[in-house]
Chain A
Amino acid sequence: MLMIAITLSLAAILVAWAGTSYGSFSSGSQLFFVQRGQALQERFVVENVFFNKTASPARLLVFVRNAGVEEIKIVAIYANGTVLTPTGSGATCTFAGSPPSVTLTVGAVCEFNLSWSPTWTTGDIFNILVASARGNQAVYTSRGP
């Protein structure tokens, strides 16, 4: 009788542990695949970068298009490793919220107006990187006019 009781107790513990483990594994994998799937479906590109040297301070206009099948959140823009925050008139998109971000619907395009000071010298190389909340990046390399 004692052995039966011990066996039943251990069995209950084992089943509880297994259920929890299987459940967390199942939900974790589901979450992983869903998030990976969404990240995988993100496609955004830097269509163009215009260097406005006559403005004071000099400005970069960065055009980013959501060419994927998922809505995306742009959370950061870097130029040569420096984080730039979109400001200024003419921009169709500015960062908002906390943490700051811009939401791009499918097929939408954003014009980010970025200030760059001091101005660049003709021929300077710019590596512009746009990062999304899901960890994807779009990179654009250009030479300053």
Chain B
Amino acid sequence: MRRADVMRMFWARRKAISSIIGGIIILTLFLSALSVMVLVSQQYDAYQGTVNKMSQKDIDRFSENLVAVFPGLAGPTSVTGCGGTCNQYNMTISNMAGIGTQITRIYINSTDSGCTSICVLDLSNTATSYSFQTSARFVNSGETLHSVLIWLPSSVLLPNPTPPSPKSTIYIATTRGRVFTFQWPFPPIGSALGGQSGASISAGIMKIAYQGAYDSKNEPSQPNNQGCHYEQSQPYPAPPGYKEVLSGITGVTGSSLTFVNPWITDTILQTAAPSSGHPSSTLYIYANVINTRGVATTVTGGNLVISAADASSNAKQYFLGGTLLGTYYKGTFYAAGTSATIQPNDNFYLIFIITNWTQGINAAGLVFTGTGAFTNRMQDGTYSGGEVMLDGLYDRTSCTAP
């Protein structure tokens, strides 16, 4: 029997027609559902692919690890650009991750000067204001001591990194959305830098100023060429290598003192000593100090005892004694007896006026007593000894212009 005859027979008998139609419908529904499920599965697969892709991007992102390398920033050096000259800093970083990184922007925020309103540095091929080197934006995985040149206008000078009290925060933003920061200058770690006294106040560099027959303000044109300080003058806070002018100081000639690097000729030293019979110059010494206590502190008084080497770098040839003239904090002078509240990690200057002087290695019994809570006792600061305190207060018999 042919198939058409069978169908005709079923139709004629009216038997199982509904079942056949129902079966066809069920089959249609099943196939429709199946096709929809296939479609949804494809969409889900595509979505899952996106999930995986973004997960990998997140893994990459969190794998980034840029670390600043001491000293963080070096400079400034003056370079052509920025419509004249730029202050160029060299930032040194290392990529400690197993993945390459691309720097997209750098932010600098300073507390004292320079970038007090945040500096935003974008990419640039040449030295232009507020930019950094385009070619240095890629930092390969594992690359160490990667150098990035940063350009700021000549009018923007980041705070003096000496002493190492953090004054600027540098933010390095990457294209993957990570931001790495470091403080500059690097904060002291424990008591490693500058030492830490019992008062939790660490001393950094010292400088000297003198007024009278010789005046550090007039260097290098002192009478008889006795000065030999050739530093250029800059107001507080002056970068390293400059004469630093502190203004608003009471009790001194002209209300300002010009501090120079800590060496001095024998002639000036002797005229600064009352006992030498030549009290025609007054000698001042400042110690740059950091409050490392972690809490605000005040300095109400103090004194200074310091030894100095002679022209042959023989230690302890001179002993100088001074009392605290005052504190210089954030550009303001506070006379001894008044109190400036020094915030944690801030640096300030203790300015001493030299009142006693003696010569000779057997200067035993030289005692200066101060009034107040803080005594800053500094000894054996010799030129050749590499002491942390005063690196050299010595008799420089000859000097030449740099």
A binding-site residues for B, Cβ under 8 Å? 1, 3-4, 7-8, 11, 14-15, 18-19, 22, 25-26, 29-30, 33-34, 36-37, 40-41, 43-45, 47-48, 50, 52, 61, 63, 65, 67, 69, 107, 109, 111
CB B263 to nearest CB in A, in angstroms, measures 39
Q: Is B374 an interface residue (CB 8 A)?
A: no
B54 touches A44 (CB 8 A): no
Q: Which of B5-64 contact A (CB under 8 A)?
A: 14, 17-18, 21-22, 25, 28-29, 32-33, 36, 39-40, 43-44, 46-47, 50-51, 54, 57, 61
Given A37-B46, A65-B177, is A47 in contact with B21 using a C-beta cutoff of 8 Å?
Answer: no
The contact string, 1 if C-beta is below 8 Å from chain A, for chain B 254-274, is: 000000000000000000000
- State whether the Cβ of B242 lies closer than 8 Å to any Cβ in chain A: no
Q: Of the listed stretches B144-152, B168-176, B222-230, name the one at the interface; the rest are far from the partner chain.
A: B168-176
A49 to chain B, nearest CB (A): 9
How far is A69 from B171 in the complex, measured between Cα atoms in Å? 23
**B169-198 interface mask toward A, CB cutoff 8 Å, 1 = contact, 0 = none?**
001010111110000000000000000000
Instruction: With both chains docked as a complex, state the minimum distance between the C-beta of A80 and any C-beta of chain B, in angstroms.
Output: 21
Q: Please give, as numbers and ranges, the residues of chain B lying within 8 Å of A109 by CB-CB distance.
A: 105
Q: Is the CB of B176 within 8 A of A11?
A: no
| Option from A4, A26, A43, A45 in Cβ contact (under 8 Å) with B36 | A26
Q: A22 to B40: give the CA distance in the assembly, Å.
A: 10
Closest to B14 in A: A1
Task: Tell me if A25 and B36 are in contact (CB < 8 A).
Answer: yes
User: Which residues from A are CB-within-8-Å of B400?
Assistant: none
Contacting pair B18 A15 (CB below 8 A): no
Q: Is there an interface contact between A7 and B22, defined as CB atoms closer than 8 Å?
A: yes
**Between-chain CB contacts (< 8 Å), 27 pairs:** A7-B18, A7-B21, A7-B22, A15-B29, A18-B29, A22-B32, A22-B33, A22-B36, A25-B40, A26-B39, A29-B43, A29-B44, A37-B47, A43-B54, A45-B177, A45-B179, A47-B171, A47-B179, A50-B117, A52-B117, A63-B120, A65-B104, A65-B173, A67-B61, A69-B57, A107-B104, A107-B175
Docked complex Cα distance between A41 and B178 (Å): 16
Chain A to chain B: the 6 pairs with minimum beta-carbon distance, closest first: A67-B177, A50-B118, A45-B177, A11-B25, A33-B47, A7-B18
Q: A34-B43, A50-B109, A50-B117 are in contact. List 19 more A-B contacts (CB 8 A).
A: A3-B18, A7-B17, A7-B18, A7-B21, A11-B22, A15-B29, A22-B32, A25-B40, A26-B36, A26-B40, A29-B43, A33-B46, A37-B47, A44-B177, A48-B171, A50-B107, A52-B117, A69-B57, A107-B104
**Contact at A43–B57, with CB atoms within 8 Å?**
yes
* Cβ contacts under 8 Å, B44 to chain A: 29, 33
CB pair A40–B177 under 8 Å, yes or no, is no
Contact B25–A33 (Cβ < 8 Å): no
Which of chain A's residues have a CB closer than 8 A to the CB of B57? 43, 69
Q: Which residues of A contact B36 (CB under 8 A)?
A: 22, 25-26
A67 and B176 form a contact (CB under 8 A):
yes
Please, how many angstroms separate the alpha-carbon atoms of A61 and B36 in the complex?
Answer: 50
Q: What separation, in Å, do the CA atoms of A69 and B39 have in the docked complex?
A: 25
Distance in Å: Cβ of B390 to nearest Cβ of chain A: 34
CB distance from A109 to the nearest CB of B (A): 7
A15 to chain B, nearest CB (A): 7
Whether the Cβ atoms of B47 and A36 lie closer than 8 Å is: yes
Which residues of the other chain, A, contact B118 by a CB distance below 8 angstroms?
48, 50, 61
Q: Please, which residues of chain A bring their CB within 8 A of the CB of B104?
A: 65, 107
Shortest Cβ distance from A55 into B: residue: B117
> Given A37-B47, A40-B51, A61-B118, are A4 and B18 neighbors across the interface (CB < 8 Å)?
yes
Flag if A19 contacts B40 (CB, 8 Å). Answer: no
CB distance from B325 to the nearest CB of A (A): 30
- Rounded to whole angstroms, the CA-CA distance of A33 and B117 in the bound complex is 44
User: Are the C-beta atoms of B179 and A48 separated by less than 8 Å?
Assistant: yes
Chain B residues whose CB sits within 8 angstroms of the CB of A48 once the complex forms: 107, 109, 118, 171, 173, 179
Residues of B within 8 A of A43 (CB): 54, 57, 61, 177
Q: Which residues of A contact B33 (CB under 8 A)?
A: 18, 22
Chain B residues with Cβ below 8 Å from A3 are: 17-18
Chain B residue nearest in CB terms to A44? B177
Q: Check B50 against A40 for contact (C-beta < 8 Å).
A: yes
Contact call B54/A41, Cβ cutoff below 8 A: yes
- Chain B residues contacting A29 (CB-CB under 8 Å) are 40, 43-44
**Residues of chain A within 8 A of B177, CB atoms compared:** 43-45, 65, 67
